[in-house]
Structure formats: structure tokens, C-alpha cells
Structure 1
Amino acid sequence: MSWIVLVLSGALEAVWATALGRSEGFTRLIPSLVFAVASVLSMWGLAWAMRDLPTGTAYAVWVGIGATLTVLVGIVTGTEPVSLAKVVFLAMIVGGVIGLKLVG
């Protein structure tokens, strides 16, 4: 269950990071509210998962999922340029996250 919560929390990290970018310095209400809610839920899920998972592993997985999804959202929406190198490095992050799960 901790791994499921951790993955969902990582996805929420991508939500709050994207909302933060779209908030334009907290001058836009809706993205600012999405940021606030998603960041609290994301941190809560990370903290909950850390009850059962090692802190370093949980944090690395959370950041890896959040960073990867944030870049993918940018690529899909066209706000982030795509390149072969970027895809390879994202795959390396995903591989690292999977590796941490397998050795955990």
C-alpha cells in the first residue's frame, strides 16, 4: 500500500509543479489553489509512505516520478521541447525508480 500511495504522491508532485508554473508567481487564482491542494496532498502521501519505506528510497522515487511526469506534461502540452537525449534521460530516471522498487 505504501508504494501505491508513494506513486500517487509522485503524480501529485507533477500536478503541483505544473500548477506552480502556470500560477505566474501566484497571480492566477485557480493554478495557485491547485498548487496549494496538490502540494499538501503530495507531501502528506510522501510522509505516509515513509512510515514503511526508507526515507532515501521514498524521496528518490517521489522526486523521480514527479520530475518525469512534469517533463512529460510539458512535452505533451508543447511547453517543453522534446529531443532524443531528453527521452533517454527520462528513461534512465524511470529505470532508477524501478530499480529502487526491485531492490527495496
Structure 2
Amino acid sequence: MSAWLWLVGAGLLEIGWAIGLKHTDGWTRPLPSALAVAAAVISFLMLAHALKTLPVGTAYAVWVGIGTVGVAAVGIVLLGESASTARLLFLALILVGIAGLKFVES
């Protein structure tokens, strides 16, 4: 599997563990807590695998960007968070940055 696929997978799992944290209720709910920790560990392992070939600055920025945009999107779609024009614009700018980093590293 290419480093970029490992990185995208790691970013998607970052979304999972970040959203999972909301459901742990301060780590008092065992199942959501275990799932959030598992997603975080697997996300870090996949990021580490991607870092074998990708530059750390690029990989970390893309990983965090996927997580940031993904968590914000889940918040908007499933949790009723604000979808203001400004918020969507700035999320779009993050996506442009992620795409740009991918293209300059290809």
C-alpha cells in the first residue's frame, strides 16, 4: 500500500478517535473509550508507516488537515454545529492546502 493510502487511513481514523472522545463522557463509558483509544493507536501506527517514505512536515500537516476538516464536517452534519459561510470557507482553505501538499510531494 502506498504511503499516501496509509496517511489517508490514518487521517480517517483521527476523525474517528476525535469524535469518539465526545462519546466517552470523560472516559466514564468503557466501550466508546476503548474504541477511541484503539482508533488513536491505529491512526498513529498508520501515520508512522507513512512517515517511512513521506516527509514528516507534509505527512503531519495532511494527517492533521484530514482530521480537522473531517471532525468539523461530522460536527456540522451529525452534531448540529455551525455551517456558517466563513467556517466553510476556512475549511475549504484547509482542503486546498492538503491537496497542494499532495501535489508538491508527488
Give TM class, smaller chain. over 0.9
Residue in 2 that maps onto 1:100? 101
Instruction: Could you list the structure 1 runs, at least 4 aligned residues long, displaced by more than 6 angstroms after superposition.
Output: none
The CA deviation at 1:94 is 0.5
The residue type paired with residue 98 of structure 2 is V
1:54 aligns with 2:55: yes
The CA deviation at 1:33 is 1.1
Residue in 2 that maps onto 1:26? 27
Gaps of 5+ in 1: none
Aligned pair count reads 104
| Residues in 1 aligned to 2:88 and 2:70: alpha-carbon distance in whole angstroms | 12
| Residues in 2 aligned to 1:47 and 1:78: alpha-carbon distance in whole angstroms | 31
Output aligned runs, 1:8-27, within 5 Å.
8-27=9-28
The CA deviation at 1:78 is 2.8
| Residues in 1 aligned to 2:29 and 2:43: alpha-carbon distance in whole angstroms | 21
Deviates more, 1:46-55 or 1:18-27: 18-27
Identity of aligned residues (%): 47
Gaps of 5+ in 2: none
**Cα RMSD for the two superposed structures:** 0.8
The residue type paired with residue 42 of structure 1 is S
